Amino acid sequence: MSDTNAYTQPLNSNVAMLSKLETEAEIRFTGAVYTPYPIAKALVAKALPLCEVKNLKILEPSVGDGSFIEALLEHEMCFDNITAVDIDDVVIQKLSKFYRKEKSTSLSFVSSDFLDFVSANNNADYDLIIGNPPFIRKHNFSKNFKEKLVDLSKEANYNLKYMQNAWAAFVVASEMLLAAKGILALVLPYELINVGYGKKLISEIFSRFEQVDIYVPDEKAFKSIDQDAVIVIAQKKNRGAKGIRICRATDLENLDAISQHKLETHSSNDMSLELVSFLLPRKTTSSLKEIRENFQKIGDFCTSAPGLVTAANDFFILTENDTRKYGLSNWVKPVLKKGSYLTKRPIFSQEEMCDLSAKNLPTNFLYFDPVDSVSKDANAQK
């Protein structure tokens, strides 16, 4: 979930020669697009000073081409050892070879599915877990990953249905491997704050930390792949502030917050307004909260359901004349094609539907019910 093109930029590196997965199809299954170095560098610079212990034990759960390793090595005096995991054996081989020649021995590279690594190291206590986990949708999970998720869900006491993308599972699993004063510092997709399973992660997993800062950039994080992202820095223990804060930042290369907003996670179950309130003037947020608390919702009076999408309304929705002309009366259901056919009254009646039909407006949805079709066809032919 990051910007492949941007990675070809600065500095560092030698690492840039490491392989990149090339096709979008591959990316869907591996989530392998790498973090631009300036973002990795900014996150490392922000997270390291927060670690209270000396001689840190650090984990990079999905190392890719190693931009976080390179950024960490600029602060070599701070840590004791780094373990870097990736499912892609090619990148692990390349990184091992590269750092064996060039860098210190306190680095170990592990070729493994991260969830297998978690099962094999469930007593680990990392001081810092840092990286950018893969963005892989549930329907593209490997069989092994799916099976491990079931175990993870039990061990972490976290409902399986909320791990709908690999990054969510990585957050849950990483939390389990942290030391008592550990820190989780991750680049995550913007979905964290705008989809249901992201919000669940905030309310259930991030509540296991004393302090959580979610940096939301004004600019798109990874422009070339049109991907928004946020950065999360979660501290198991914090002497100062407590709670979850949304920190607005200009971009993810610069993590000095322009503004901060503390989330009221306990005040209501629905955090949607809280999570976007950094975008609104304070007064507007308060008014919206007041309206929400004092007024009944549309849902208190009626239910709503999505309409149907035919993808070709002019073909599938017929007028009464055409329905008769083609002998299709047995295979249509009444449908309201356009909102503009509605009257201004709150209730749309059967009579009004008949009026539309009498005006020969398209109101008959062509529907071949697989169960009914055979009998209707037989009747029609009699």
With CA atoms as reference, report the closest residue to 347 among 305, 287, 302. Answer: 302
Is residue 174 at the binding interface for ligand SAM, with CB under 6 A as the rule? Answer: no
User: Is the Cβ of residue 166 or residue 275 nearer to ligand SAM in the bound state?
Assistant: 166
From 4, 132, 211, 235, residue interacting with ligand SAM (rule: CB under 6 A):
132
From 3, 16, 83, 88, residue interacting with ligand SAM (rule: CB under 6 A):
88
Q: Which helix (H) or strand (E) holds 57?
A: strand 56-60
Is residue 164 at the binding interface for ligand SAM, with CB under 6 A as the rule? Answer: no
Task: Write the DSSP symbol of residue 132.
Answer: -
Which residue type occupies 194?
Answer: N
Is residue 182 at the binding interface for ligand SAM, with CB under 6 A as the rule? Answer: no
Q: What is the smallest separation between the CB atom of 36 and ligand SAM, expressed in angstroms?
A: 8
Q: What is the smallest separation between the CB atom of 39 and ligand SAM, expressed in angstroms?
A: 8
From 114, 126, 215, 331, residue interacting with ligand SAM (rule: CB under 6 A):
114
The CA–CA distances, whole Å, from 292 to 100, 270, 281, 285 equal 59, 11, 17, 10
Q: What is the smallest separation between the CB atom of 362 and ligand SAM, expressed in angstroms?
A: 47
The CA–CA distances, whole Å, from 91 to 35, 77, 114, 131 equal 15, 26, 14, 15
Q: What is the smallest separation between the CB atom of 370 and ligand SAM, expressed in angstroms?
A: 40
Sequence-separated contacts (24+) of 94-97 with Cβ below 8 Å: 94/18, 94/19, 95/15, 95/18, 95/63, 95/65, 95/66, 95/69
Q: What is the smallest separation between the CB atom of 159 and ligand SAM, expressed in angstroms?
A: 20
Phi, psi of 86, deg, nearest 5: -160, 150
134-163 positions binding ligand SAM, by CB under 6 A: 134, 145
Which of these segments, 63-71, 75-83, 250-258, 344-352, binds ligand SAM (CB under 6 A)?
63-71
Q: What is the smallest separation between the CB atom of 166 and ligand SAM, expressed in angstroms?
A: 6
Q: What is the smallest separation between the CB atom of 116 and ligand SAM, expressed in angstroms?
A: 8
Q: What is the smallest separation between the CB atom of 66 and ligand SAM, expressed in angstroms?
A: 7
219-278 positions binding ligand SAM, by CB under 6 A: none
Phi, psi of 83, deg, nearest 5: -110, 130
Is residue 217 at the binding interface for ligand SAM, with CB under 6 A as the rule? Answer: no
User: Is the Cβ of residue 186 or residue 317 nearer to ligand SAM in the bound state?
Assistant: 186
Is residue 1 at the binding interface for ligand SAM, with CB under 6 A as the rule? Answer: yes
User: Is the Cβ of residue 22 or residue 52 nearer to ligand SAM in the bound state?
Assistant: 22
Q: What is the smallest separation between the CB atom of 300 and ligand SAM, expressed in angstroms?
A: 43
Task: Write the DSSP symbol of residue 54.
Answer: S
Region at 214 (left for phi over 0; alpha for psi -120 to 50; beta for the rest): beta
Which of these segments, 10-18, 82-90, 261-269, 357-365, binds ligand SAM (CB under 6 A)?
82-90
User: Is the Cβ of residue 110 or residue 275 nearer to ligand SAM in the bound state?
Assistant: 110
5-44 positions binding ligand SAM, by CB under 6 A: 30-35
DSSP assignment of 215-262: EEESS-SBGGGTB-EEEEEEES--SS--EEEEEEESBTTB---SEEEE
DSSP alpha helix (H) spans, the chain: 24-30, 37-47, 67-73, 89-102, 114-120, 143-156, 166-176, 191-194, 196-200, 272-276, 282-294, 313-316, 320-325, 350-358, 372-381
- Secondary-structure breakdown of the chain: helix, strand, coil percentages, each rounded to the nearest 5: 45, 20, 35
Contacting residues toward ligand SAM, per CB under 6 A? 1-2, 30-35, 62-65, 67-68, 85-88, 91, 113-114, 131-132, 134, 145, 166
